[in-house]
C-alpha cells in the first residue's frame, strides 16, 4: 500500500498538469470552434458575394453591349432616311429635295410625268401617328407615261434607292391606241429627317400637349363623378283647390 502511495505522490504533480492541460485544451476547443465556424461562414458569404458580383458584372456587360448595339441600329436606321442639307425646312421644302432625286430617275428612264399630287404628313402614316416630330412625310401620287422597258428600269432604280421610301401602289394600263405605251399611276411615300433643333422643339410641344390633354381628361372625369345634390320639388296646386 505504501508503494502505491509513493507512486501516487510521485506522479501527483504530473497528473495535475495533465488534467489542467486537458481542461485547457477543451476550453480552447470550445472557444475556437465558434470562431472557426464564423471564418467558414465568412468564406461562404465571400464566395456568394463574389458570385453575385460576377453575375452583376456579366449582366452589366450584356446591358452595355445591348445599348451599344441599339445605338448602332438607331444610327443605321437614321442613315436610311433622307437628310436635307438645310436645317429648319418645312415638310414641303424638305421633301422637294428628295423628290428631285425621284424626278431625276424618271428623266433618266425617259418617263413623262402627266401630273403629281402631294399629300404632306398624311394622318394614316405610322410615322406621323407615333413620332411626328422626327420625320417629314409626303404621299405622292404621280401619273406617268412610259414603255415596258423604261418603267421596269424605273422600278428597279426605286427599289435600289439609297433612302427609305414606301411604294404603296402601282397601277399600269396599256394605252388603247398603242399597247406598247403604258399609262402608269404610282403612289409612294417619301420621308426626310427633321433637324435636331426642330425634333427637340416639336417633341417638347407634343409631350406638353399630351400632358395637358391627360390633365384635362382627369379633371373632367373628377367633375363628372360628383353626384348633384337633390333639389326640393316645386309644390304644385291641385286643380280641385280652385273649385
Q: Provide the CATH number for the domain around residue 149.
A: 3.30.70.60
In a domain? residue 50 = yes
Same domain, 52 and 111: no
Domain end call among 54, 80, 106: 80
DSSP 75: H
Model pLDDT for residues 126-185, shown as the tens digit of each residue = 999 998 889 999 999 999 999 999 999 999 999 888 888 999 999 999 999 998 999 999
Same domain, 110 and 191: yes
Percentage of the chain surpassing pLDDT 70?
Answer: 71
pLDDT, position 173: 93
Same domain, 75 and 140: no
Helix axes 91-108, 148-159, angle to 10 degrees: 130
Q: Do residues 140 and 187 make contact, with C-beta atoms less than 8 angstroms apart?
A: yes
Query: Would you say residue 72 has pLDDT above 80?
Result: no
Confidence (pTM): 0.58
Q: What confidence category does residue 203 fall into, taking pLDDT thresholds of 50, 70 and 90?
A: confident
Model pLDDT for residues 124-139, shown as the tens digit of each residue = 999 999 988 899 999 9
In a domain? residue 69 = yes
Same domain, 19 and 59: yes
Residue for grid cell 398624311: 122
Q: Do residues 171 and 184 make contact, with C-beta atoms less than 8 angstroms apart?
A: yes
Same domain, 73 and 124: no
Pick the range with the lowest mean pLDDT from 26-30, 75-79, 236-240: 236-240
In a domain? residue 3 = no
Q: Do residues 165 and 158 make contact, with C-beta atoms less than 8 angstroms apart?
A: yes
CA distance 147 to 210: 50
Same domain, 194 and 96: yes
Same domain, 101 and 185: yes
Q: What confidence category does residue 67 fall into, taking pLDDT thresholds of 50, 70 and 90?
A: low
Count how many domains the chain has.
2
Dihedrals phi, psi of 119, to nearest 5 degrees: -130, 100
- How far apart are the two ends of the chain, measured CA to CA in Å? 147
In a domain? residue 232 = no
In a domain? residue 136 = yes
Same domain, 111 and 159: yes
Domain end call among 80, 114, 135: 80
Domain end call among 60, 80, 100: 80
pLDDT, position 242: 45
Q: Which domain holds residue 169?
A: 91-198
Same domain, 73 and 99: no
In a domain? residue 148 = yes
Considering only residues 116 and 76, tell me which one the structure prediction assigns the higher pLDDT: 116
Same domain, 99 and 42: no
Amino acid at each position: 500500500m505504501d508503494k502505491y502511495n509513493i507512486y501516487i505522490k510521485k506522479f501527483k504533480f504530473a497528473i495535475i498538469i495533465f488534467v489542467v492541460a486537458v481542461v485547457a485544451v477543451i476550453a480552447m476547443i470550445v472557444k475556437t470552434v465558434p470562431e472557426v465556424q464564423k471564418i467558414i461562414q465568412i468564406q461562404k458569404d465571400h464566395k456568394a458575394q463574389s458570385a453575385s458580383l460576377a453575375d452583376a458584372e456579366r449582366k452589366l456587360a450584356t446591358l452595355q453591349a445591348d445599348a451599344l448595339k441599339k445605338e448602332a441600329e438607331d444610327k443605321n436606321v437614321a442613315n436610311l432616311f433622307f437628310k436635307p442639307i438645310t436645317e429648319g425646312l418645312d415638310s414641303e421644302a424638305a421633301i422637294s429635295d428628295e423628290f428631285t432625286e425621284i424626278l431625276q430617275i424618271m428623266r433618266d428612264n425617259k418617263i413623262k410625268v402627266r401630273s403629281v399630287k402631294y399629300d404632306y404628313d398624311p394622318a394614316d402614316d405610322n410615322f406621323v401617328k407615333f413620332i411626328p416630330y422626327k420625320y417629314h412625310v409626303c404621299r405622292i401620287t404621280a401619273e406617268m407615261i412610259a414603255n415596258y422597258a423604261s418603267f421596269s428600269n424605273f422600278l428597279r432604280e426605286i427599289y435600289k434607292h439609297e433612302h427609305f421610301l414606301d411604294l404603296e401602289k402601282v397601277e399600269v394600263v396599256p394605252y388603247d391606241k398603242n399597247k406598247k405605251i403604258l399609262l402608269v399611276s404610282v403612289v409612294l411615300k417619301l420621308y426626310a429627317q427633321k433637324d435636331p433643333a426642330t425634333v427637340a422643339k416639336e417633341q417638347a410641344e407634343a409631350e406638353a400637349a399630351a400632358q395637358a390633354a391627360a390633365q384635362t381628361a382627369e379633371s373632367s372625369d373628377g367633375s363628372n363623378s360628383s353626384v348633384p345634390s337633390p333639389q326640393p320639388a316645386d309644390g304644385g296646386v291641385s286643380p280641385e283647390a280652385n273649385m
